[in-house]
Structure 1
């Protein structure tokens, strides 16, 4: 079986990151296409990646086996309804737009294989994680094609229910901002303790990087890693006790519940 032709409608940061990652994973430039509103962006993509780029979304819809919708949620309906009815038969559609349900996509595009994807911004550094949900028309081969595309910028995990996309948004889609917020607070606290800003910032960022690397490669869970650093009566214990007294676990839960609720509201607003 020949490799599928993959087309990206929308050529912003996430799409260009995916294309770059795919080329590094030995996808052939001749099997990748992209479209964008501006000829300038198309020319840039063609020069940068050696792929075919066009301002005509319909060209991709007619030629590509896999269509990746990488436009803003607010224009998704307009883009989908403008695609030709004679799209390539059996074409897999992957949406990376937040808040657009499979039901809405099917209404705008017609029935067919659909995958909803929630990537996160570390995908721009090829350190991303994506939650994936497939409708009943997606074949095993198409699931593998989806994984190959998203795994070019990190890892991907399949979900059993579409409603779990909102939980993915709360955990990983919005999650980088939570860690950035904590880093902000640690940098500011380090300065209050007398460190120069640059020193506090580098200490914080590399501590976060090291802790994440340890957690990813450890054979024990993060709670055990935390316990191993927290000696009884020691300095870390004092900080952990202060976090607990201020209700950090409940605070995180409330924040993530609020995020998931808003994701559900946006899905209904964009339907």
Structure 2
């Protein structure tokens, strides 16, 4: 599975190693992957987590880009230029990442911090919930993980 973020040092790599691997070897392996982004060690008994990382990171780039593109298309439909709509969406994404990187807030805390009772965000999230956005994302990721397992059986 490709992980396009590695080209910019922003990839996520999972590697398998036994629990009894010594710290020097663990450091060497992580150092090998460090220029590509972050890495996590998956223990042998949880080797299936490689499939989860593939879904969240490798395929996740496409899923998030699809969400961002959909947001952009709404801006364009409402009369914004393609460039302004794309810039607005991408700066918003950058803002979320900056909040997460520079605070102790969880992703859920960030959502709660934006939502106000009776406000615009609450209205949008309510509609998205009714339309099944969260369910669709979860099921799509589960299908991705399942396909990874199927492919790894070959």
**TM above 0.5, one fold?**
yes
Matched with 2:33 is 150
Matched with 2:97 is 212
SS at match of 2:38: strand
| Among 2, 5, 9, the residue aligned to 1:126 | 9
Matched with 1:180 is 65
Matched with 2:145 is 260
Looking at structure 2, the residues matched to 136 and 241 of structure 1 have their Cα atoms a distance apart, in angstroms, of 44
Which protein shows a greater Rg? Answer: 1
1:141 Cα deviation after fit: 2.2
Aligned alpha-carbon RMSD (Å): 1.8
Greater length-normalized contact order (CA 8 Å, ≥ 6 residues apart): 2
The unaligned stretches of length 5 or more in structure 1 are 1-97, 99-118
1:157 Cα deviation after fit: 1.4
1:136 Cα deviation after fit: 7.0
Relative to its length, the structure with more helix (as a share) is 2
1:138 Cα deviation after fit: 5.0
Looking at structure 1, the residues matched to 78 and 142 of structure 2 have their Cα atoms a distance apart, in angstroms, of 33
Instruction: Within 5 Å, give how 1:25-64 maps onto structure 2.
Output: none
1:153 Cα deviation after fit: 2.5
**TM-score, normalization by structure 1:** 0.53
Runs of 4+ in 1 over 6 A off after TM superposition: none
Greater displacement, 123-132 / 174-183:
123-132
Distance 1:216 1:131, change over 3 A: farther
Relative to its length, the structure with more strand (as a share) is 1
Looking at structure 2, the residues matched to 132 and 217 of structure 1 have their Cα atoms a distance apart, in angstroms, of 27
Q: Deviations over 1:139-178 (max 9, x none)?
A: 4322211101112232111122211111111111211111
| Among 180, 203, 224, the residue aligned to 2:109 | 224
Confirm or deny that 1:171 pairs with 2:56: yes
The unaligned stretches of length 5 or more in structure 2 are none
Q: How many residues align?
A: 152
